[in-house]
């Protein structure tokens, strides 16, 4: 399966939930992973219990089904194992604003995880398209590619992955209405907590010119292509968007999700620990970057948001 381009991670008896963002913070247990299907079926039959077989297990459209059929057909023959060599590489570097910086020697599984996490979706890239990007990276090409809702920019000095804002032309994202003291996820990449009602999260794309000069200066720290994919806030009764920090707290979920995708989290205790070098609730626009616009609209901490009104 790996030789044919599969980017599946390894299965463990404890793994983070594959459902994102609804399953964030949950672990998935597989206590029967080491048991064989025949043994389980025999035991269930002895208990008078029934079971359900997943029809996808026999569907040749899926790689795992084709692999099972090939193994069954050659069960009595000697089969030489296929060794897949994947280049070693440095760990991805998390950059504020939902960006991920990679090395050109990035492993296929790491690149696939970075694309999915930066893109905010759930569908990994096809193996052939992923291999094509890896070949161009190894060849030291400078190029731009869009895959899994993410944009990869490879230049002589760096490789960065970010959300592709142009994808919203094909798949628009509905505005996210925030409810006070209730966490809400936008675009699978950012989580918001609002102190007061009246806030809506939208994309900065098409609204950059309406931001204040101070907010535009903060956005200018990002590559130009990444700025339109940053979330901004609209206040009821006001037309100009603002960045998070004015009565609303924002946290970047990309580092947490990437850590989960790369098997760096192995137990529930690890779920709330930030990756190395990343500070909890360290979003692009810190408190010092946002002017205080009034005594009731100051930025609040997570502890504040959990306190009763």
- First vs last Cα of the chain: how many Å apart? 54
Q: Cα–Cα–Cα angle for 137, 140, 146, nearest 5°?
A: 40
Q: List strand residue ranges (DSSP E) for the chain, in order.
A: 14-16, 27-29, 93-95, 99-102, 143-147, 150-154, 159-163, 176-177, 184-186, 190-194, 199-203, 231-235, 248-252
Confidence of residue 180 (pLDDT cuts 50, 70, 90): very high
Segment 120-140, tens digit of pLDDT: 998 889 888 999 999 999 999
3-state secondary structure of 92: coil
Spatial CA neighbour of 172 closest among 207, 205, 144: 205
Sheet holding 184-186, edge to edge: 184-186, 190-194, 248-252
* pLDDT > 90? residue 263: no
Segment 32-74, tens digit of pLDDT: 888 888 999 999 999 999 999 888 888 888 877 888 788 777 6
Higher-pLDDT residue of 275, 122: 122
Contact 99, 160 (CB under 8 A): yes
Confidence of residue 291 (pLDDT cuts 50, 70, 90): very low
3-state secondary structure of 271: coil
Residue 100: its pLDDT value, please? 94
3-state secondary structure of 153: strand
Length of the chain: 309
Least confident of 114-118, 167-171, 221-225, 283-287: 283-287
Residue 19: its pLDDT value, please? 85
- Reported pTM: 0.71
Least confident of 13-22, 122-131, 177-186: 13-22
């Amino acid at each position: 399966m790996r030789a044919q381009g599969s980017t599946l991670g390894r299965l463990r008896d404890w793994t983070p939930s594959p459902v994102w963002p609804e399953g964030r913070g949950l672990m998935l247990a597989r206590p029967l992973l080491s048991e064989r299907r025949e043994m389980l079926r025999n035991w269930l039959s002895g208990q008078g219990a029934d079971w359900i077989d997943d029809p996808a297990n026999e569907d040749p459209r899926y790689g795992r089904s084709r692999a099972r059929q090939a193994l069954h057909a050659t069960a009595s023959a000697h089969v030489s194992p296929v060794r897949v060599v994947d280049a070693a590489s440095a760990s991805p570097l998390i950059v504020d604003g939902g960006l991920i910086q990679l090395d050109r020697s990035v492993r296929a599984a790491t690149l696939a995880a970075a694309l999915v996490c930066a893109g905010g979706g759930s569908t990994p890239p096809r193996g052939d398209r992923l291999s094509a990007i890896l070949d161009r990276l190894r060849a030291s090409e400078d190029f731009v590619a869009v895959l899994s809702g993410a944009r990869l920019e490879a230049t002589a000095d760096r490789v960065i992955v970010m959300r592709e804002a142009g994808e919203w032309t094909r798949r628009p994202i509905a505005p996210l209405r925030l409810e006070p003291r209730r966490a809400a996820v936008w675009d699978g990449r950012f989580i918001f907590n609002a102190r007061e009602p009246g806030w809506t999260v939208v994309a900065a794309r098409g609204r950059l010119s309406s931001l204040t000069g101070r907010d535009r200066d903060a956005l200018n720290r990002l590559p130009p292509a990444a700025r339109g994919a940053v979330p901004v806030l609209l206040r009821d009764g006001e037309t100009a968007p603002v960045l998070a920090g004015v009565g609303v707290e924002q946290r970047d979920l990309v580092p947490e999700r990437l850590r989960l995708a790369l098997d760096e989290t192995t137990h529930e205790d690890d779920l709330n620990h930030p990756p190395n070098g990343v500070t909890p609730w360290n979003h692009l626009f810190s408190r010092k970057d946002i002017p205080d616009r009034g005594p009731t609209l100051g930025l609040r901490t997570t502890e504040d948001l959990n306190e009763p009104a």
